[in-house]
């Protein structure tokens, strides 16, 4: 992503010629710098938010978990047929 921003904002200023080229280079670099770090900070904030959201979800669901379920019995046609014959 930084390379795309570099190509779109800063690289065209290096190809310029004339008296305003140094000013354009400084402005292009400033735009690239601000956009790159804004994206990085935004992604870090999103990462922290999603991690906190996941932790809250896990803790919220643990409040309602009792662990008093029924024993797992795998499905088999044999037991189904035996129960059907009894009835």
Residue 61 φ/ψ, nearest 5 degrees: -70, -30
**Beta carbons of 9 and 32 less than 8 angstroms apart:** yes
Per cent of the chain over pLDDT 70 is 100
Residue 59: the pLDDT is 87
The 10s digit of each residue's pLDDT in 38-55 is 999 999 999 999 999 999
Question: 31: how many CB neighbours lie within 10 A of its CB?
Answer: 15
Question: pTM higher than 0.75, yes or no?
Answer: no
Query: pLDDT band at residue 80, thresholds of 50, 70 and 90?
Result: confident
Q: How far apart are CA 26 and CA 8, in angstroms?
A: 14
16-44 tens-digit pLDDT = 888 999 999 999 999 999 999 999 999 99
pLDDT at 31: 92
């Amino acid at each position: 992503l930084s390379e795309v921003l570099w190509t779109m904002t800063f690289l065209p200023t290096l190809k310029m010629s004339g008296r305003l080229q140094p000013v354009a280079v400084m402005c292009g670099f400033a735009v690239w710098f601000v956009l790159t770090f804004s994206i990085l900070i935004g992604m870090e904030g999103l990462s922290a938010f999603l991690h906190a959201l996941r932790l809250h979800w896990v803790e919220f669901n643990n409040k309602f978990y009792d662990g008093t379920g029924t024993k797992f019995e795998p499905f088999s046609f044999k037991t189904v047929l035996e129960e059907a014959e009894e009835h």
